[in-house]
Amino acid sequence: MLERVLTDLEARMRAAPDRGKVADYIPELARVDPARFGISVCLADGRQLSMGDAEVPFSIQSVSKVFALAIALGRFGETLWIRVGREPSSRAFNSVVDLELEGGKPRNPFVNAGAIVVTDAILANRAPKETLAEIVRFLRAASGSDAIHIDQAVARSETETGHRNWSLAHFLKSTDNLRHDCALTLGTYFHQCAIEMTCADLARAGRFLAGLSRDDDLISRAHVRSINALMMTCGHYDGSGEFAYRVGFPGKSGVGGGILAIVPGKASIAVWSPGLNRWGNSMLGTMALEELSDAMGWSVFNAG
């Protein structure tokens, strides 16, 4: 059944005329072919089904924030929430206004300001290289793939042009919510966002969030629940309500066009299509997840 659904989905997404707009505010991302489409699904019975460009590495960008948060919760637990909120946002993912209105406490760990604070937190007592190695190691352990790496050209591209993130970091510094130099924290954040991996690896990396992997060592069950709740309410920025309404399970998007989506107890899904919708989330990726959710009855809001 699932195989048929995915085959059909891939054919239709491949042919879709409107594919959204590839992110071009990071010059290196603007070069990605908008025709790409890949999807991979890991299931509770251990099977993994993949279609399209599921083995082509792409820039996971903000999907990395899920894994940085997992590490931060493991190290700091609830005290993390002194520095970052847990509420959805109604403004864009890189809004400076939101941060100013909240007095320097980002609304949640997935908007850029919040993710910068999370990265700053996990830099405590670690050099940037060690922190990045820790994130990559986490992803490799969760996915079982050693191919996951950081694309230095993408990291450089954003370091040179990411002025909005620089302004967020400086604002955080001015309100005493950044422990390290702006350049040190942001350099680490840009490299974390520049992690490159395939849909197949990303779907496997998400299994611990769906309760599918035997490896309980990665993080506690309580933290899995926290992360899934935040992915549902904040994972698609100011488009999170729309995503919950249409798809009905937790997901985290990235401006590289990837989405990691979790059906608790049932599936870990990674989808990639580089064109974005008006919220900066993958347009066809969202559409594919919506259709998959409908076909499989996977919305967590189904009443039976």
Q: Could you say whether residue 280 binds ligand GLU (CB under 6 A)?
A: yes
Catalytic-residue membership of 245? no
Mask for 102-131, x = binds ligand GLU (CB under 6 A): ----------x-------------------
Q: Could you say whether residue 200 binds ligand GLU (CB under 6 A)?
A: no
DSSP string, 107-175: SSSSSHHHHHHHHHHHTTTS-HHHHHHHHHHHHHHHHT-TT-EE-HHHHHHHHHH-HHHHHHHHHHHHT
- Dig out the tokens for 71 from the structure: 């590490």
Between residues 104 and 280, which has the closer beta carbon with respect to ligand GLU?
Answer: 280
Catalytic residue among 189, 224, 263, 268: 189
Catalytic residue among 117, 224, 255, 271: 255
Between residues 51 and 115, which has the closer beta carbon with respect to ligand GLU?
Answer: 115
Within residues 8-27, the interface with ligand GLU by CB under 6 A covers none
The span from the CA of 164 to the CA of 113, in Å, is 10
Cα angle value 179/185/186 (rounded, 5°): 140
Catalytic residue among 40, 59, 62, 89: 62
The span from the CA of 69 to the CA of 122, in Å, is 9
Q: How far is the CB of 142 from ligand GLU (least distance, A)?
A: 19
Q: How far is the CB of 304 from ligand GLU (least distance, A)?
A: 35
| Among positions 94, 198, 226, 240, the unique one binding ligand GLU when judged by CB under 6 A | 94
Catalytic-residue membership of 90? no
Within residues 134-173, the interface with ligand GLU by CB under 6 A covers 158, 165
| Among positions 40, 61, 95, 233, the unique one binding ligand GLU when judged by CB under 6 A | 61
Residue with smallest beta-carbon separation from ligand GLU: 62
Q: How far is the CB of 255 from ligand GLU (least distance, A)?
A: 4
Q: How far separated are the first and last CA of the chain, in Å rounded?
A: 20
Q: How far is the CB of 183 from ligand GLU (least distance, A)?
A: 15
- Dig out the tokens for 300 from the structure: 């967590």
**CA neighbor of 191 nearest in space, from 171, 165, 219, 226:** 165
**CA neighbor of 184 nearest in space, from 172, 196, 199, 175:** 172
For residue 37, give the DSSP letter. Answer: -
Are 97 and 111 spatial neighbours (Cβ–Cβ below 8 Å)? no
Catalytic-residue membership of 64? no
Q: Could you say whether residue 249 binds ligand GLU (CB under 6 A)?
A: no
| Alpha helices per DSSP H over the chain | 2-15, 64-76, 96-101, 112-122, 128-143, 152-161, 163-174, 182-193, 199-205, 207-210, 221-234, 240-246, 283-296
Q: Could you say whether residue 255 binds ligand GLU (CB under 6 A)?
A: yes
Q: Could you say whether residue 193 binds ligand GLU (CB under 6 A)?
A: yes
Cα angle value 241/243/248 (rounded, 5°): 100
Q: Which residue bears the tokens 């025709």?
A: 35
Catalytic residue among 41, 65, 111, 273: 65
Q: Could you say whether residue 93 binds ligand GLU (CB under 6 A)?
A: yes
| Among positions 52, 106, 206, 254, the unique one binding ligand GLU when judged by CB under 6 A | 254
Between residues 9 and 132, which has the closer beta carbon with respect to ligand GLU?
Answer: 132
Active site residues: 62, 65, 189, 237, 255
| Interface ranges with ligand GLU (CB under 6 A) | 61-62, 93-94, 112, 158, 165, 193, 254-255, 280
